Amino acid sequence: MAAPGDAGDALAELERQSDDGDAGTGELAPLRRGEDEVKRARLIVDRAVARGDFDNLALAGKPIPGLGEAHDPDWWVKGLIQRENITGLGPAAILLRTEDAELDGRLDRQYTEQQVRDVLEDFNYRVIDARRQLLGGPPVITKLRDVDAEVERWRERRAAARRAAEAEAPPEPPKATFWRRLWRGRS
């Protein structure tokens, strides 16, 4: 015999509801006076299971992401920033780490040595300023960049990129001089 509230009772209730509801649409009849809302909710879930609405869910049989981690009061903000790929927001320490990882690419987009020096000096200033602030948050572990060494690395990357571009470019045909054009015209 089935225990009250198990799948057998739910299916029997399901059959009763299908007779009482809208004919053929599968809709539940409106909640009656005295009808238990918990039983109604269980019935709705059981009906969805019977239809197969919960089959092949993305995380079926897997742990829910984020439940095993230590409690972080800003978990929802971090999740929003990650989901929406929001940049420019967050603690200075994290922003500086991200910028440090992308700094070489930013330097490579500069055209002059003075522009490279300006970018590096601005970056170093913001790292020092973030270390001085006592607002809390994660520690600033981003290292300062040596301006002269970074300028030299920028020059090397730029020369290597120029050599690679020249190697890929097709050789230019020799330019025909006045005398060569004149000579070809006679033939």
Q: Has this prediction a pTM greater than 0.75?
A: no
Residues ≥6 apart with Cβ < 8 Å to 153? 104
pLDDT tens for residues 102-158? 999 999 999 999 999 999 999 999 999 988 887 777 788 899 999 999 999 999 999
CA torsion through residues 1, 61, 63, 54, sign: negative
Question: pLDDT tier at 186 (50, 70, 90 boundaries)?
Answer: low
Delimit the domains of the chain by residue range.
7-51, 89-168
CA distance 130 to 62: 40
